[in-house]
Amino acid sequence: MKRPLPRGNGNNFTHNLLQDLRLETVCENARCPNRPECWAQRTATFMILGNVCTRPCSFCSVPKGTPQSVDEDEPERLAEACVRLGLRHVVITSVTRDDLPDGGAEHFVRCLEAVRRRLPHATLEVLTPDFQGHVAAIDRVIAARPHVFNHNLETVPRLYRVARGRAEYRRSLALLARVKEKDPAIFTKAGLMLGLGETLDEVLEVFADLRSIGCDIVTLGQYLAPTLHHSLPVARYLPPEEFDSIAQLARLLGFRHVVAGPFVRSSYHAAEMLPAHSA
């Protein structure tokens, strides 16, 4: 399976714009296989709060260490990029910032507000870290009313110690539950990587947990080691038809939208994952 290289100058336009405005993207920092396609279509998933993460998750290629101070001008530059790209759906994610008292929640809010001022008709999606479970931080982002609140579970509980370091499965579930509790109108979304050694029964148990807290959207993609020497190897490559089968099981459990496939990522074609676009 290969990803085709797009034609035209859209890729260069997006690349140059992001450099000009000094913005980070998860597309580049996480070595996403869909980056050429998305950038050619003049869309990107913005990664705020720098490009250094305070969590040592073994599946991820984002640099780990001590982050720099928060860039106070970032929200306005991000909003300017959204305008120049002509985005109708904006996805904002971040590195995990356990060094900040609120985990970066207020900065998420400032970015949402800046984009909303410039693009009042765009739909807004956040893909947040767990904010260490701090309810005040989570509630601050909920109060900013993104249309979609995404938080990836990444894998099944048994593999958290191997893949997710200091993250906690129940804490992540509690975050998504909190969103629905505080504002049922916000669509909640979660993503899983497959191919880390999980069993189908374990995946179905995660689906059941997500449905029990009213999660609307789930994405399923193949784990791909970011480099040949990455510390977390791929346990198995799932064929496309197996993704289709698992997706059907998820739909039977009542998710409003399910997207699954080897190259699916939680922000890939994100606008099409809104329940209003569901078949």
Residue 200: both structure tokens together: 């189908």
pLDDT category at 4 given cuts 50, 70, 90 is low
- Rg, C-alpha atoms of the chain: 18
Alpha helices in the chain (DSSP H): 10-20, 26-29, 35-40, 74-85, 105-118, 135-143, 160-163, 169-182, 200-212, 240-252
pLDDT at 278: 42
**Predicted pLDDT at 247:** 97
Q: pLDDT at position 9, please? A: 59
Q: Residue 7 pLDDT > 80, yes or no?
A: no
CA distance 151 to 263: 18
pTM of the model: 0.91
pLDDT tens sequence across 24-73: 887 776 666 666 677 677 778 899 999 888 987 777 777 788 888 999 99
Q: Give the closest residue to 124 by CA, choosing from 96, 82, 73.
A: 82
Model pLDDT, residue 44: 82
* pLDDT: which is higher, 67 or 102: 102
Strand order in the sheet with 89-94: 24-25, 45-48, 89-94, 123-127, 148-150, 187-194, 217-222, 257-261
Q: Which structure tokens are listed for 66?
A: 């001590």
**How, if at all, do strands 24-25 and 45-48 pair?**
antiparallel
Is the CATH code 1.10.260.40 the one for domain 10-277? Answer: no
Q: What is the total residue count of the chain?
A: 279
The mean pLDDT value for 117-128 works out to 96
- In this structure, of 17-21, 97-101, 208-212, 242-246, the range with the lowest mean pLDDT score is 17-21
DSSP label of 175: H
